[in-house]
Structure 1
Amino acid sequence: MAARRLAWVTGAGSGIGRALAERLGQTGWRVAVSARTQADLDSLAVPGVIYPFVLDVTDNAAVAATVAQITKEMGDIDLVVLGAGIYEPIMAQGFDRDAFARTLDVNVMGTVNCLNAIMPAMIGRRDGHIAVMASVAGFVGLPGASAYGASKAALNVMAEALEPDLERHNVRISIINPGFVDTPLTRKNDFPMPFLITTDAAVDAIMRGLERPRFEIIFPWQMAVAMKLLALLPHRLRLTITRRMVR
């Protein structure tokens, strides 16, 4: 009997990452899950289905060791979903350099560390699928999201730049751009969130997207259309709209 496919999900302690790991496990995958908090992973673990690996993705050596451990104990990783991320609202008044640096370190360099550990093996065996969790916040500069939006814009550009090269090696890369999803991250927001969807709805969209040969997985469609159109506007018009978002 062929071994079940193996996925690795980072940022699996809560939110979309946790719900996606559970769904993958329910649909026949073996799932290695990583997050910084042991208790979160212990409550997610399912014997023979979901396996916990505590990890801080900003520690490059630890990421490499974790990937090596997963591969040794469970086999080749077929799908990796890089979902580890943080969000800290940052405005011009009270601008916080350290919070900005933390956001880039986790969201961008944490993802880079994982790619550095996972891509060589996938390229070597000419097989695998990488999914990077970004956000529609990376399309336009939104008040309060200077660090978060910058990190997600970086992930979008990075994935798009890697796609043609990875395609030559028969490795897929997808970028996931959610709108507002009801998670502990978005509950920090103190403003109305248009087109807010549940975590289950987000996971439905991601699962459909992972099965299709598309580069971008973006949802919900209403937020996707709104943000894509906003990004197309000249700066004068776009800034007129975003100025109204300042509280």
Structure 2
Amino acid sequence: MTLYRANPKHGVAWITGGSSGIGRALARDLASQGYAVAVTALDDDPIDTLVVETAQMPGSVTAFPCDVTDEPRMARTVAAIEKELGPIVLAIFNAGNYISTPGENLVVNDFRRTFEVNYFGIINGLVPVIERMRVRARGHVVLVGSVTSYFGWPTTAAYGGTKAAINILAESLKYDFDKMNVRIQVFNPGFIDTPLTEKNMLPMPGLMPVSRASRRMARGIKSGGFEVTFPRRTSWPLKLLGLLPRPLCRGVISLTTSWKARPLHYDRKPPIE
């Protein structure tokens, strides 16, 4: 049996983190393909303008505001989408946050908040939507990871940790999702020109415009395999670099980022004994 792949004729595409960046661009691209797109972002994020921008497209965009860290509300959002628009056949978990975590200024809450949004923000929506897909015996799920999942980068102890966890989550769930006729994909993009990457302190080779990244994601949803990574001129060398012995990999990253020459910056006073 061929594993199910979402089709706009079958139901709704749901995107979290759809008010800006790649999520917003992807919502537009899916609406242009004829999907009824449900977009979830924080209550005060500007989804209304996206609804207006897509009004003349074959599909539609409808706002379902929600904080992805709110587990009960995410379950209610899934129910509301299906009640108003129809069954969710494509769930794209794109919401994410980046907080720089340099080793000399570690803050527990930076790690907690990053995992709450990037990882548990997926779990809070995945659990209720998968239960509905299981009953219908078909569905399509996309988890948005990152090339930072391939190995450790400076300042990404929190962010990269969540993306590595997302990749393991997808690999682990695939065994049973395949039996349920639910396709799961993990997208590991390189550096995309979004508000999130503006916070990045590292060099960003192959920085891709968000419109191109969105089109690449849309193609990957239509025909891609389990992992979709782009742009290839950046992601494939990084994937190969991740296969090297870790001391050698760390040496290459340290050299290319000039990290050893970077001075330490202490933003907080050390604790007093």
| TM-score normalised per structure 1 | 0.96
Structure 1 residues 69-100: Cα deviation after superposition (integer angstroms, max 9, x where no partner): 00111110110110000001111111111111
Runs of 4+ in 1 over 4 A off after TM superposition: none
- RMSD value over aligned CA atoms? 1.5
Matched, 1:188 2:199: yes
46-55 or 107-116, larger mean C-alpha shift: 46-55
Q: Which runs of 5+ in 1 are unaligned?
A: none
The answer (yes or no) to whether the contact 1:5–1:78 under 8 Å persists in 2 is yes
Partner AA of 1:42 in structure 2? D
The answer (yes or no) to whether the contact 1:4–1:29 under 8 Å persists in 2 is no
Cα distance change on mapping 1:231 and 1:101 into 2, 3 Å: same
Q: Which residue is 1:214 aligned to? A: 225
Matched, 1:7 2:13: yes
The answer (yes or no) to whether the contact 2:9–2:35 under 8 Å persists in 1 is no
12-21 or 186-195, larger mean C-alpha shift: 186-195
The match for 1:55 among 49, 59, 66 is 66
| TM-score normalised per structure 2 | 0.87
Residues paired across the two proteins, number: 246
The answer (yes or no) to whether the contact 1:175–1:216 under 8 Å persists in 2 is yes
Q: Which residue is 1:108 aligned to? A: 119
Structure with larger Rg: 2
Partner AA of 1:17 in structure 2? G
The match for 1:156 among 162, 167, 170 is 167
Alignment of 1:76-225 (within 5 A): 76-225=87-236
Give 1:151 shift. 0.2
Q: Which runs of 5+ in 2 are unaligned?
A: 1-7, 263-273
The answer (yes or no) to whether the contact 1:86–1:185 under 8 Å persists in 2 is yes
The answer (yes or no) to whether the contact 1:86–1:106 under 8 Å persists in 2 is yes
Aligned with 2:34: secondary structure?
Answer: coil
Structure 1 residues 173-232: Cα deviation after superposition (integer angstroms, max 9, x where no partner): 000100000000001123431011101110111111111151011100011112111110
Aligned with 1:45: secondary structure?
Answer: helix
Matched, 1:21 2:11: no
Give 1:37 shift. 3.6
CA distance in 2, matches of 1:67, 1:117: 7
Q: Which has the higher contact order (CA 8 A, sep 6+)?
A: 2
The match for 1:44 among 37, 43, 50 is 50
CA distance in 2, matches of 1:39, 1:188: 19
Aligned with 1:54: secondary structure?
Answer: coil
